[in-house]
Structure 1
Amino acid sequence: MTDAPLLLQRRGAIAWLTLNRPATRNALSGDDLFSAFETVLAEIDADPTLRVAVLTGAGSAFCAGGNVAEMRDRQGMFAGPPAEITARYRQGIQRIPRALARLGLPIIAAVNGPAIGAGNDLACLCDLRIASSAARFAESFVKVGIVPGDGGCWLLPRVVGWSKAAEMALTGDTLDAAEALRIGLVSQVVAPEALEDAALALAQRVAANPPQVLRWTKRLLWQARSGTLDEALDAAGQFQGLAHHTADHREALAAFFEKRPPVFTGAGMAPQEGA
């Protein structure tokens, strides 16, 4: 296996991404990892053959968050006075949420083990989340005397609601997979040995739909996290106007009336009638 910090495997229309630092339980540290997120996500976003991505972790953990040993030793992004640490966060780990926010492809977190601190936030940055029964979740920054520096206080309330997010962030408590399912942090929990197949099945259900419409729908979902209803309606109207003139929309209607499975290509705009 390559020693790249983020592995990419293409499985048909699915981009399978694996955090590849099992020795550190896939801790989020180092410029090579931050750069890998930017590079790999940009690469898959530009690939017209891909329709959905899955993110998981190598080894027993999904992502253990920040490198606590570096925190203790005041190394890497944790070195120097407050102003330097602020700059390193902006130039370092905060590149990951920004890269994921730019990603047009829908992305699924397949949480194979603990998702702790920034690892919990990484899962929240994905559009869908499914978990192994061995997974654990914690917004645990307070336990090491810091705040969520990667946007967790913006992300988590939008996933589980304000009250539960506040409870998680202010207590730092760890939740098991069953509790994560109950509060809506994940949508499925499966046996550890079934996680890969379950993630692939979910990804295939997503990938079966028109690729451009998937991207527009994801953008509307993200915009809804902080926009107003009027802004959401304006954007939905704009995307809908475009969607009604795609070849995939016409194919979907034809397949519906012909009672057959549709075949979506992601081709550009269909010719307008009378053109």
Structure 2
Amino acid sequence: MAEKTVTLTREEGVGIIKLNRPHVYNAFNNQMSLELQEQLKEAGSDPQIRALILTGEGKAFCSGQDLNDRSAMKQRGETISLGESVRSRYNPIVMAIANLDKPIIAAVNGVAAGAGCSLALACDMRFITPKTRFVEAFARIGLVPDSGSSYFLPRLVGLGRALEIAMTGRDVEADEAMKIGLANRMVPAEDLLEETFSFARKLAQGPTVAVSLTKKAILKGMEGTLEEALEFEAQAQEVAGRTQDFLEGVQAFTEKRKPRFQGK
């Protein structure tokens, strides 16, 4: 039986999804893309998981598509449709991340290139180390950004900068990533998972229904009109106002204590 290329562990309400092909810097092959889809689905449906971390085993976060895997497929005479590959392998992953009713943080422990860069951008936040590099590597091999990069990159860094980064395929080092808003927090490499876990645990202990609605509201707010955003806020507030966590939050405020949210 083939070794798992993606693992899911649970601790204190936090799920940790880890890409596990360190010998190729966690590059995607068919198995890993399918297993990541499965683990995201499992984590999303597990009520015990209230926040997620996505990271990579070894020295890299994810180096993108495994081009050696593609070469082997060609040598076997298999027909490769890049468009269908994106639709069936990568797009479901990006949509699963975007539609998660739980916060997800990328702990980017090294290079995030190509589809690996897109994967990190799709997450709600990115925690990095001084050794982290983001690389929209598609232009380097004559391709265009996929797996959501054309959507997330300009929203994070602005149109002009996104065009420059994508068209050149250059490395974005950690300091620049922090400066331009590509990353949220930089910590020493040896502390990355611990610091990300500590943050994710705080989110997991929060009012997770409200957190999920907040994620949806902000994403919708970037797409629609002010009127549409105001209406969605009203609808979301109606839902949040009927949760046990809202009642607990108000009671904790009146009793001058820390609230004990249950995510219900």
TM-score higher than 0.5:
yes
Q: Give me the identity figure in percent.
A: 36
Paired amino acid for 2:108: V
Residues 1:128 and 2:129 are matched in the alignment: no
Secondary structure of the 2:245 match is helix
- Alignment check: 8 A CA contact 1:29 1:93 kept: no
Secondary structure of the 1:115 match is strand
- Alignment check: 8 A CA contact 1:79 1:85 kept: no
For residue 47 of structure 1, what is the aligned residue in structure 2? 46
Paired amino acid for 1:137: F
Residues 1:23 and 2:14 are matched in the alignment: no
Runs of 4+ in 1 over 6 A off after TM superposition: none
Distance in 1 (CA, whole Å) between partners of 2:201 and 2:237 is: 24
Cα offset, 1:213, TM superposition: 0.9
For residue 231 of structure 2, what is the aligned residue in structure 1? 234
For residue 67 of structure 1, what is the aligned residue in structure 2? 66
- Choose from 209, 229, 241 the match for 2:206: 209
Paired amino acid for 2:39: V
So what's the TM-score if we normalise by structure 1? 0.89
| 1:109-133 superposed Cα distances (whole Å, 9 cap, x missing partner) | 0000001111111100000111011
For residue 152 of structure 2, what is the aligned residue in structure 1? 155
Superposition pairs of residues 212-223 of structure 1, within 5 angstroms: 212-223=209-220
Paired amino acid for 1:193: E
- Alignment check: 8 A CA contact 1:115 1:136 kept: yes
Secondary structure of the 2:34 match is helix
Secondary structure of the 1:26 match is coil
Distance in 2 (CA, whole Å) between partners of 1:255 and 1:199 is: 27
- Alignment check: 8 A CA contact 2:112 2:132 kept: yes
Which segments of 5 or more consecutive residues in structure 2 lack a partner in the other structure? none
So what's the TM-score if we normalise by structure 2? 0.93
Secondary structure of the 2:27 match is coil
Cα offset, 1:93, TM superposition: 2.2
Cα offset, 1:204, TM superposition: 1.9
For residue 58 of structure 1, what is the aligned residue in structure 2? 57
| 1:205-251 superposed Cα distances (whole Å, 9 cap, x missing partner) | 21231121111111112223423322222111101012112111111
Distance in 1 (CA, whole Å) between partners of 2:83 and 2:78 is: 10
Aligned residues: 262
Distance in 1 (CA, whole Å) between partners of 2:140 and 2:73 is: 17
Distance in 1 (CA, whole Å) between partners of 2:261 and 2:198 is: 18
Cα offset, 1:79, TM superposition: 5.7
Cα offset, 1:66, TM superposition: 1.2
